[in-house]
Amino acid sequence: MKLFVETNWETRATRFYLQDDEGRLKTLIGIKDGLLIKQELSPLNPTNVPIYPLLEMGDYMAKEFIKAIVDYASGEGIKTENENLLKGKLEATEKHLEDLRRQFDLLLNKIVNQ
Q: Does the pTM exceed 0.85?
A: no
* Domain segments of the chain as ranges: 1-78, 80-114
- 30 with 39: CB under 8 angstroms? yes
Instruction: Locate the DSSP E strands across 1-114.
Output: 2-8, 13-22, 25-32, 35-41, 55-58
C-alpha angle 28-13-53 in degrees, rounded to nearest 5: 15
Tell me: the pLDDT tens digits for 9-52? 899 999 998 888 766 677 888 999 999 998 887 666 666 778 89
Tell me: the pLDDT tens digits for 62-94? 999 999 988 888 888 777 777 777 888 888 898
